[in-house]
Structure 1
Amino acid sequence: MAKDEGDMVIQQLEQYLQNEPKLRGAIAGVSIRSRETGEILYEHLSDIRLRPASNLKLFTAAAALSILGEDYTFETDVLTDGDLEGEALKGNLYLRGKGDPTLLPEDLDMFAKTLREQGIRKIHGDLIGDDTWYDHIRYSVDLTWTDETFYYGAQVSALTVSPSEVYDTGTVLVTIKPGKIGEQPTLSLYPDTDYVKIVNQAVTVAAGSDAETDIEPERQHGGNTIYIKGTIPNNVSEEKIWVAVWEPTDYALALFKQSLEKHGIVLEGGVKAGKTPERARVLTNHTSIPLKQLLVPFMKLSNNGHGELLVKEMGKVIYGEGSWAKGLQVLVEELKKLGVDISTLVLRDGSGISHVNLIPAHEVSQLLFSVQSQSWFPAFLESLPIGGEKERMVGGTLRERMDGPELQGRIRAKTGTIETVSSLSGYLDTKSGQPLIFSIILNNLLDSDWGKMVEDEIVKILAEW
């Protein structure tokens, strides 16, 4: 492309960033590189440290692929320290988690079915949940109480269950269907468990031009009573919400005990947390999908729980300690190898939910350039949302954005949103075929949704390069 055409795009970008009303009083860090050479083509406050939101997941995913490998899997084991005498297992039954984010209620049912097929009808011992693969700190350091109810703020445990193949660990799925106008909607819970109590305080309202679904869950700190509040119009088919539980290890144990009962296995002892003895033998187990497949829901749907699990797993694998402290140490060490200037970063978690994380846009674009030379880069690229692609596991968080003919399918990028923050970083093929790398980090916004509009406009300008 002619140099003057590039200059025109740069001039247009400068004018937009200076004059856009949504950016008044905000900070915009922008870094544009050639995807082929890494040359910086344009920058605007690109060395200023900004809160990245979920753009931090780009760092976590790259480090995890490098440290763990794209074929890495997670295990959940069922073990015993006893022997089978007739139909009775004389000993304890252990459910040992090793960070598997893909364990589903159906897998617990399969565990119970397998135990019954092995001849077990009674357990003369306790059911013990072992989550000692990681430490017992459930929340990253800056997570606020206001986030605890929601799926994106779920507790992190090495023993955890997801209600669906989106793999939102440590959550239950509540489905809300409208009733008659003025009456409560119908609620259903999956998995069907008494580990949580649902209190229905929602109301069905008449459909209208201004009637929208406005359902909010609320779970008090330290408990598992979930209040469903708000309104749902009577013309809506259903609304699904994922709600985080208190103490995911106990949740997994409660579901497994329920599965044992369902398959006719009587537990004569209690249910508690503990550590599996070395002499215990494996009766059955579950292996997760490989990391390269797990990255799809992690990155395309921006799954916070996966980011925190991956950080703890890296700490466990490299330093024998599944903690945020050790995991973040590994993350920083690996980023340095990938060409990122770690001296300018502040990293507090693996998901980007913290408002204390700080990353310059320049270092994000640098990472996106350097990872292209890695053998695992195809898995990394595959995990990124694709603009305008409507399939959820293809377009991800970009499926309703950049869907015009000039942009659809031409951008692969990671989104990020927390209060007052929006970010978008990834790869773009311009109309002329020029491959670009870009990072846009917007802070101090009055409305985070404004950030998405600004990002989309910047990408439209870049597409003309």
Structure 2
Amino acid sequence: MVFKRTSMFFMVVIMSFAAVFTVVPSQPDVQASGQYESLERKINTIMADSSMKSLDASVTVRKASTGEIIFEANAERKVTPASTLKLLTSAAALETLGEEYQFTTDVLTDGSIAKGVLNGNLYLRGQGDPTLMKRDLDQFAATLSKLGIKKITGDLVGDDSWFDSVRLSPGIDKSDETFYYAAQISGLTLSPNTDYDAGTVIVNAIPTKKGYKAKVTMTPDTGIVTIVNKSKTVPKGYKNTLSIKRQHGTNNIVITGNAPLGSGGKKEWVTVSNPTAYTLDVFKKSLSEKGITFTKPSKVTRRETSQQARVLASRQSMPLKKLMRPFMKLSNNTHAETLAKTMGKRVYGEGSWNAGLRVMREFGQTIGLQPSEWKFEDASGMSHNNKVTSAQLTELLFLARQAPWYGSFVQGLPVSGMNDRFVGGTLKNRLKGASVKGKIIAKTGSLNQVSSLAGYVETKNGETLIFSVLTHGKKTNALPAIDKIATVIATTPIN
């Protein structure tokens, strides 16, 4: 896929391709040369502000052409990277799996079809595809219907054995588990829409009549979830206090609070417990909608596919190079963790975090990063125990420019101030001024008390610089200072 570039900056991408991934040694840390004195002075002014002084911060700026460091402030300080860790995850995935990698989902049977009856089990076998949706299950059902199947005598079996059974990474707190960014990772999972937040359902609560409960809908509809509706419709003008959360350890989604008349109510992407069971439940509904039923002894269960089973229908996801947009633009944690387990499966035959993170560490070491400067226990950046230096993040961004997959890598990064969410992504509402709009493409990172930004900047002189700003602080909102630094890099003339 060719990335459509809208500025001189993006033309640099093509110039930096190489036929083979080649590592160029980084330059030693130096202060800004005379050419960049104005840039250094302006960043130092921001760093000297009281808001930045109260933070643990690490800042590095490099020349994209050579990797030379032209500014650094605590460049070797290890700071929690939050979602900027996804820069390593995406680079490792593109290198390990390849740009054309696709997830496969199969429907199989170990039985035979006679007179509209499938005498045997029906299997749904996954590879963790985060883009699988209800419409794909509908297509599977349509294919089975075309084969003449009306009744199934065996079980409906979910095979999620592509990954191990550990569904949450170490960085997920109990309080996070209801939210889309902390969905369970399974070899068989389902997304409710084309944001591809796999392992979630969209729950929408809207006001009805005064004194009545809000009307609740789910996308997709599933019986695996129980709605506990404790909401109340109140007069127009009242505060909207609707809350939609899943009770920990259950599939009970509880709706509480007031839904004012005239308001839009509330919509939440809520995680499910056991994505495999969720996917099977929705698939069974798809089958039913096509008139395909199961006999009474049949059950819905989870186990590995029989070795005697044959494929009846198959679906392949979009290639990884296209997945990079929803993954990186929207900073999708589920995609990151799924890719980590997939890398583990590809390299070590084990779809686990241990294997996947090992692949990521070995990838970094192979291209010339320093293993001692990276600490991570997940692939999405959710854990506060993850640590890296700004020097290492910029080194990764420099080395990535020399990779044959760089076009796929860079087109996934958010672009400053661009309104289209699949262009601007998490920078859609940041850095919108005329002097910086479209000039910065970078990965954001955000956790409680953590803010980060790392990527590429087109300067006023048309040069491409690489930067990373990592911050951690209890009381200060670092975003204004981070955006000031990015703006200074983009707008300061280089002598």
Q: Name the TM-score, length of structure 1 as normaliser.
A: 0.94
Give me the whole-angstrom Cα distance separating, in 1, the residues matched to 2:474 and 2:461: 33
Identity over aligned pairs, percent: 44
Q: State how 1:4-19 maps to structure 2 within 5 Å.
A: 6-19=36-49
- After TM superposition, the structure 1 = structure 2 runs for residues 362-401 of structure 1, keeping only pairs within 5 Å, are 362-401=391-430
Matched, 1:111 2:140: yes
Q: Is 1:328 the equivalent of 2:357?
A: yes
Secondary structure class of the residue paired with 2:44: helix
Q: Does 1:147 align with 2:176?
A: yes
For 1:119 and 1:273, locate their aligned partners in 2 and report how far apart those are by CA, in whole Å.
Answer: 25
- Structure 1 residue corresponding to 2:126, chosen from 97, 116, 128: 97
The AA in structure 2 aligned to 1:162 is: S
CA RMSD, 1 decimal? 1.9
| Paired residues of 1:74 and 1:287 also in contact (CA < 8 A) | yes
Alpha-carbon distance in 2 for matches of 1:58, 1:181: 49
CA distance 1:105–1:363, shift in 2 (3 Å) = same
Q: Shift of the alpha carbon at 1:24?
A: 4.2
1:306 is aligned to 335
- 2:273 maps to what in 1? 246
Q: Please say if 1:258 is aligned against 2:258.
A: no
1:192 partnered with 2:221: yes
Distance between the aligned counterparts of 1:38 and 1:173, measured in 2?
44
| In the alignment, structure 1 residue 414 sits paired with structure 2 residue 443 | yes
State how far apart, in whole Å, the 2-side matches of 1:231 and 1:147 are. 23
- Determine the C-alpha separation between the residues in 1 that align with 2:35 and 2:203: 53
Amino acid at match of 1:11: R
SS in 2 for 1:132: coil
1:365-421 deviation per Cα after TM superposition (whole angstroms, max 9, x unaligned): 000000001110001000000010001111011001111101101110000111111
Pair 1:135 & 2:191 matched = no
Q: Aligned pair count?
A: 459
Query: In the alignment, which residue of structure 2 is the partner of 1:460?
Result: 487
Aligned with 1:173: secondary structure?
strand
- Per-residue Cα deviation, 1:265-297 (whole angstroms, up to 9, x for no partner): 111211100010111100001110000111111
- Mark the CA change 1:12 to 1:235 in structure 2 (over 3 Å): closer, same or farther: farther
Look up the equivalent residue of 2:486 and give its one-letter code: V
Cα 1:214–1:455 change in 2 (3 A) is farther
C-alpha distance in 1 between matches for 2:100 and 2:329: 19
2:190 aligns with: 161
How many Å apart are 1:300 and its aligned residue?
0.3
1:20 to 1:462, Cα distance in 2 relative to 1, 3 A: farther
Report what 2:77 is aligned to. 48
Q: Which amino acid aligns with 2:41?
A: Q
Q: CA deviation at 1:184?
A: 4.3
Residues of 1 paired with 2:170 and 2:400: CA distance?
28
Distance 1:284 1:152, change over 3 A: same
Instruction: Check whether the contact 1:108–1:259 (CA below 8 A) recurs between aligned residues.
Output: yes
- State whether structure 2 residue 47 is matched by structure 1 residue 20: no
Give how far 1:8 is off. 2.2
Counting only pairs closer than 5 Å after superposition, residues 278-357 of structure 1 correspond to structure 2 as: 278-357=307-386
2 CA distance for matches of 1:408 and 1:213? 34
Structure 1: which amino acid aligns with 2:324? L
**Distance change >3 Å, CA 204–CA 420, structure 1 → 2:** farther
**Aligned residues of 1:178 and 1:184 also touching (Cα < 8 A):** yes
CA distance in 2 between partners of 1:414 and 1:191 (Å): 31
The answer (yes or no) to whether the contact 1:427–1:437 under 8 Å persists in 2 is yes
Q: Deviations over 1:222-268 (max 9, x none)?
A: 21111123455555445432000000001011111111111111112
Q: Using the alignment, how far apart are the partners of 1:377 and 1:394 within structure 2?
A: 17
* Cα shift at 1:179: 4.4
- Partner SS state of residue 307, structure 1: helix
1:191-238: CA deviation from partner (whole Å, max 9, x where unpaired): 112211222334556777xx8765432212221111123455555445
Whole-angstrom CA distance in 2 between matches of 1:248 and 1:353 = 20
Q: 1:292 to 1:231 in 2, by over 3 A?
A: farther
* CA shift in 2, pair 1:232/1:372, >3 Å: farther
Q: Is the 8 A contact 1:212 1:233 kept in 2?
A: yes
Structure 1: gaps of 5 or more residues: none
Amino acid at match of 1:258: K
Give distance in 1, aligned partners of 2:443 and 2:420: 16
Deviation at 1:360, TM superposition (A): 0.8
Deviates more, 1:67-76 or 1:182-191: 182-191
Query: Are the aligned partners of 2:204 and 2:266 in contact in 1 as well (CA < 8 Å)?
Result: yes
- From 70, 83, 93, give the equivalent of 1:64: 93
Asked if structure 2 preserves the Cα contact closer than 8 Å seen for 1:338 and 1:371, the reply is: no
Which residue identity does 2:100 align to in structure 1?
D
The answer to whether the aligner puts 1:74 opposite 2:103 as a matched pair is yes
CA distance in 2 between partners of 1:213 and 1:293 (Å)? 38
Give the conservation status (yes or no) of the 8 Å contact 1:9–1:464: no
CA distance in 2, matches of 1:129, 1:212: 44
- Give the structure 1 partner of residue 65 of structure 2: 36
- Note closer, same or farther for the CA distance 1:123–1:183 as it changes in structure 2 (3 Å cut): closer
SS in 2 for 1:394: coil
> Compared with structure 1, are the counterparts of its residues 46 and 177 closer, same or farther at alpha carbon in structure 2 (3 Å cutoff)?
same
> Which residue in the other structure is 1:227 paired with?
254
Which residue in the other structure is 1:403 paired with?
432
Could you tell me how far apart the structure 1 residues matched to 2:369 and 2:236 are? 52
Please give the secondary structure, in 2, of the residue aligned with 1:463: helix
- Deviation at residue 464 of structure 1 after TM alignment: 2.7
Deviations 1:95-141 (A, max 9, x none): 10111111101111111111011011111110110000010000012
TM-score normalized with structure 2 length: 0.89
CA gap 1:107/1:292 in 2 versus in 1, 3 angstroms:
same
User: Hey, what's the Cα distance between the residues in 1 that align with 2:70 and 2:347?
Assistant: 37
Worse-matched range after superposition: 328-337 or 8-17: 8-17
Query: Which residue of the other structure, out of 452, 461, 467, is the alignment partner of 1:438?
Result: 467
Task: Give the 3 Å change call, closer, same or farther, for CA 437–206 of structure 1 in structure 2.
Answer: farther
Which residue pairs with 2:306 in the alignment? 277
**SS of corresponding position for 1:455:** helix
Q: State which drifts further: 293-302 or 212-221.
A: 212-221
Matched-pair contact (CA < 8 Å) for 2:58–2:470: yes
